[in-house]
Chain A
């Protein structure tokens, strides 16, 4: 089992501030995904990163995959209350028998207050 550790566990910020959440592991992943989950809902996929060093941007969200494909970060610029949610990272292993098997981190709960 590949463990994914997310930090911080909880983050509370004011609207307009920036934030970064981290996802770390000692294992290499073929791909890593970020999801956002709102109360009472299932996780919704935000992005998938697959190449070491890859950077993807989704409006005010910037995702980075580490060069060694063991870690990732999510940066939000000028956070808005609508960014509030539980941010989950999920990794897919490098061996063919681990493709399609997503291991999730515990998540970072982000609260953005007006």
Chain B
């Protein structure tokens, strides 16, 4: 079974530029998450989708971050414009179904973003 795919693996941009990350979840997984992991910290949930609908985006900085999940499969996360404090690893994860307890999330390798 293929895992969660993310691209690119690494990205270096200057502040105020824009950047986009892509995620392809495990086939058949209805729930997709984007997490931000700053060095030395645990993952922080940015946004959660169930199929192509947003379930939770309460911690997404909406003035600069946006995400979409067209057709309920692939997802993109965009930052525009980027700030220095956005430097982090952006992790995508998927799970089988929201609404059932004992969620098991499967993570991609992440995209390491450096803003200079």
A residues touching B (Cβ–Cβ < 8 Å)? 4, 6, 30-31, 33, 35, 40-45, 48, 50, 88, 90, 92, 96, 99-107
Contacts and interface: CB of A to CB of B under 8 A. Distances in A.
B107 A44 contact: yes
B70 interface: no
Contact of A100 (B40, B95, B107, B109): B95
Contact of B4 (A31, A42, A90): A42
A101 B42 CA distance: 14
A42 B108 contact: yes
Q: Which 9 A-B pairs have the closest CB atoms?
A: A42-B107, A104-B42, A100-B98, A100-B103, A106-B42, A31-B102, A104-B43, A99-B101, A107-B42
B98 A99 contact: yes
Interface in B39-54: 40-45, 48
B109 A40 contact: yes
A31 B90 CA distance: 24
A111 to B, nearest CB: 14
Contacts of A40: 109-110, 112
Chain B interface residue number, banded: 20 to 34
Binding site of B, secondary structure by majority: helix, strand, loop or mixed? loop
A45 B104 CA distance: 8
B26 to A, nearest CB: 12
Given A99-B101, A105-B42, 9 more contacts: A30-B101, A33-B105, A43-B91, A88-B42, A92-B102, A100-B97, A104-B35, A106-B41, A107-B42
B98 A42 contact: no
6 contacts: A45-B104, A100-B97, A100-B99, A101-B48, A104-B42, A106-B42
B14 interface: no
A99 B42 contact: no
Nearest to B41: A106
A2 to B, nearest CB: 12
B101 to A, nearest CB: 5
